[in-house]
Each structure stands twice: as C-alpha cells, then as structure tokens.
C-alpha cells in the first residue's frame, strides 16, 4: 500500500506518521521493519531497493520517504518506483511542500491513498487546544483558549508547547495565565502594527515597529508581512457576506486567518485599506530598486499611512 501525505500542517502530518509507526511496532513487536528515507539525498537504485525489498526479521515493512519531490532525478519517474511495491510493504511519501502541477504529484496522487494535512479552522483549533490541555491533565477556559490562539496563531507546534507550559503552571488554565506566560507572536504584533497604522495611531505603530526591529525582525520581512496583512484585510472587506472557509478558499489563506480578517474588517474603510496597500507595495518597489534605506522607507510608510487618517 502506498500513501501520500502532504499539506502545510506539519504537526498533524508528523503526528499521523508517529501513529503509524507506533501501530506497526505494537503489531509486529519491534521496529526492525521500519525504514526512514531522506528523499532529497536517496539515489534511484537505493529507493527502488527499499521499496521492493522483502521483509527481514519481520513480517512486513513500513517505509517513510520525506521530501522526495525535491529530488528531480527520481520525482519525474516516480511511477517506475511504486509500481512493484509488494503487499508486505507500506510506503508513506510525506511532502510538506509540493507543487501540485508536477508529474510527481499527479502520479503519486493517482496511485496512492492521499491524505491532505491543512491548518485547522478556528473552531476546530480551539477544540484541539482543549484536548491538548486534557492530555496534560488540565482544563482550559474558553476565553483563555481564544486568547491563546490570538497570541500564538495557528502553529500547532507552538500551541502544544504553550499548553504544556500553561498546564504546568496550574489548572484550570485562565485568560490571566495566558496573558502572563504567553508571548505575542511576531505575526500578531505585525497585525497590531497594521491596525495602528490604519487607525492613525502613529505612536503605537512606531513603537510596535521598533519593538519588532529590536527583536531581530528584518525590515523587508516585516514589510512583506504588512503587505500580506493589508491584502487579506482588503479581500475580507470587499468579500461581502461570507464565511471563513469560503473566504479562505477564494483568497488563498487559511480558515484561521480568514476568520480573523472577517472579525477585524469593520475597523477599517475600504479606501483606507486600498491606500495603505498601494503605498506599501510602492515602498516594496522602492526598497528593491535601491531608492533608499529599507528601515527609513518602512518608517516613512508607517508615518504616511497614519497621517492620512482623518483626526
């Protein structure tokens, strides 16, 4: 049997792989038949031998191959490697990032059982946080879970770590505990920067920008995130009556981000967002064309956007 795991939710994908390995070891009594392959480095003959090998010291084999799509010497001819996989072997191809236009993806998808691992939408992510707390022998208040998501975002790796830390601090996990122990993610800080800019709050916007700079964030990266946030807000503002999953599908963002944009869009006018977005794009062009210091140009953008808001 051949599986294809892909999608940006690496936490869920790796949890599923770990579950497969655990089930295999429980069933066989050992891990002799488990093999992990770095797809970026494996040679064609090595992969073929691994996939077609008979079990040794076990009744079956579990072969996990990661990032094979980056190995162009093999990817384009993947059909030749998977067509003779014996019934005693389960092959799992894991691709955190994959170009769905490639022959590799299309061939694997046609031949394999495919599972897509996407970021959880907000309501499911909140349910997952509650389950993580229960696993850590704690409970979490609904308001605390919501605040945790606001501060940490949708990264389940970070959320898992934060929940474990909060559970060790005490149960039930409260909003006050979250405020005390959880640091705001840079993405959230950048959103707050955008909110301050477009609200005309120059002092707050500049403070947040300098805070990010002090934390080691590069000006060009921050500008790209500002553009991304403005773009998402503008799409949400002009979307009319829609749900987070619908906006996520049409605008190419996760349901979590879409839900946040829809919840915040009432804070801005469409003209504000359009003007800010165009100015941010122009600033990006100026930086790339060498028109000035990136740090100065980003500060000028913040000051310009904030100054355009009526007092």
Res 311 pLDDT > 70: no
Range among 18-22, 179-183, 266-270 rated most confident: 18-22
Residue 127's CATH number: 1.10.8.60
Q: Are residues 192 and 289 in the same domain?
A: yes
Q: Three-state DSSP class for 183? A: coil
Owning domain of residue 238: 186-307
Asked if residues 234 and 277 have their Cβ atoms less than 8 Å apart, the reply is yes
Name the pLDDT band for 99 (thresholds 50, 70, 90): confident
pLDDT at 310: 66
Q: Are residues 290 and 195 in the same domain?
A: yes
Q: Are residues 138 and 231 in the same domain?
A: no
Q: Are residues 79 and 170 in the same domain?
A: no
Q: Which pair of structure tokens corresponds to residue 284?
A: 């990006």
Asked if residues 205 and 196 have their Cβ atoms less than 8 Å apart, the reply is yes
Q: Are residues 16 and 110 in the same domain?
A: yes
Q: What is the mean pLDDT of the chain?
A: 88
pLDDT at 220: 85
Lowest mean pLDDT, pick from 191-200, 272-281, 297-306: 191-200
- Compute how many other C-beta atoms are within 10 angstroms of the C-beta atom of residue 217: 16
Q: Are residues 285 and 217 in the same domain?
A: yes
pLDDT in tens, 59-80: 889 999 999 999 988 998 898 8
pLDDT at 18: 93
pTM (global) more than 0.95: no
Q: Which pair of structure tokens corresponds to residue 119?
A: 């970021």
Number of domains in the chain: 3
Q: What angle do CA 87, 89, 93 make, to 5 degrees?
A: 125
Strand order in the sheet with 34-38: 34-38, 61-66, 89-95, 2-6, 113-116
Domain's final residue, options 142, 159, 181: 181
Res 122 pLDDT > 80: no
Residue 55, phi-psi category: left (phi > 0), alpha (psi -120 to 50), beta (remainder): beta
Range among 94-98, 99-103, 136-140, 215-219 rated most confident: 136-140
pLDDT at 141: 92
**What does the alpha-carbon distance between residue 81 and residue 47 come to, in Å, rounded to a whole number?**
7
Q: Are residues 214 and 194 in the same domain?
A: yes
248, 190, 247, 255: which is closest to 220 by C-alpha? 190
Q: Are residues 149 and 200 in the same domain?
A: no
Phi, psi of 114 (to 5 degrees): -105, 135
Res 55 pLDDT > 90: no
Asked if residues 52 and 81 have their Cβ atoms less than 8 Å apart, the reply is no
Q: Over pLDDT 70: what percentage of the chain?
A: 99
Name the pLDDT band for 52 (thresholds 50, 70, 90): confident
Q: Are residues 193 and 176 in the same domain?
A: no
Res 206 pLDDT > 90: yes
Average pLDDT over residues 298-306: 90
Domain's final residue, options 116, 142, 163: 116
Average pLDDT over residues 139-162: 87
Name the pLDDT band for 163 (thresholds 50, 70, 90): very high
Res 261 pLDDT > 70: yes
Res 58 pLDDT > 80: no
């Amino acid at each position: 049997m051949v599986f294809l795991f892909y999608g940006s939710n690496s936490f869920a994908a790796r949890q599923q792989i770990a579950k497969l390995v655990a089930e295999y070891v429980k069933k066989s009594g050992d891990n002799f038949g488990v093999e992990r392959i770095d797809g970026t480095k494996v040679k064609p003959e090595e992969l073929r031998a691994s996939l077609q090998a008979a079990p040794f010291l076990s009744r079956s084999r579990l072969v996990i191959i990661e990032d094979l799509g980056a190995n162009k010497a093999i990817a384009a001819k993947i059909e030749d490697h998977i067509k003779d996989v014996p019934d005693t072997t389960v092959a799992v191809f894991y691709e955190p990032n994959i170009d769905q236009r490639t022959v590799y993806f299309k061939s694997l998808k046609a031949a394999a059982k495919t599972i897509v691992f996407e970021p959880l939408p907000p309501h499911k992510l909140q349910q997952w946080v509650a389950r993580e707390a229960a696993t850590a022998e704690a409970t979490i208040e609904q308001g605390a879970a919501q605040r945790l998501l606001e501060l940490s975002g949708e990264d389940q790796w970070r959320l898992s770590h934060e929940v474990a830390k909060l559970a060790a601090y005490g149960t039930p996990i409260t909003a006050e505990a979250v405020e005390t122990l959880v640091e705001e993610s840079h993405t959230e800080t950048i959103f707050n920067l955008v909110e301050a800019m477009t609200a005309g709050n120059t002092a707050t916007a500049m403070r947040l920008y300098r805070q990010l700079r002090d934390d080691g964030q590069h000006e060009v990266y921050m500008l790209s995130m500002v553009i991304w946030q403005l773009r998402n807000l503008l799409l949400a503002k002009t979307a009319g009556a829609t749900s987070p999953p619908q906006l996520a599908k049409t605008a190419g963002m996760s349901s979590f981000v879409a839900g946040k944009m829809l919840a915040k869009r009432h804070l801005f006018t469409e003209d504000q967002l359009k003007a800010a977005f165009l100015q941010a794009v122009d600033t990006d062009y100026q930086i790339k064309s060498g028109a000035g210091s990136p740090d100065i140009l980003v500060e000028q953008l913040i000051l310009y956007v904030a100054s355009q808001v009526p007092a």
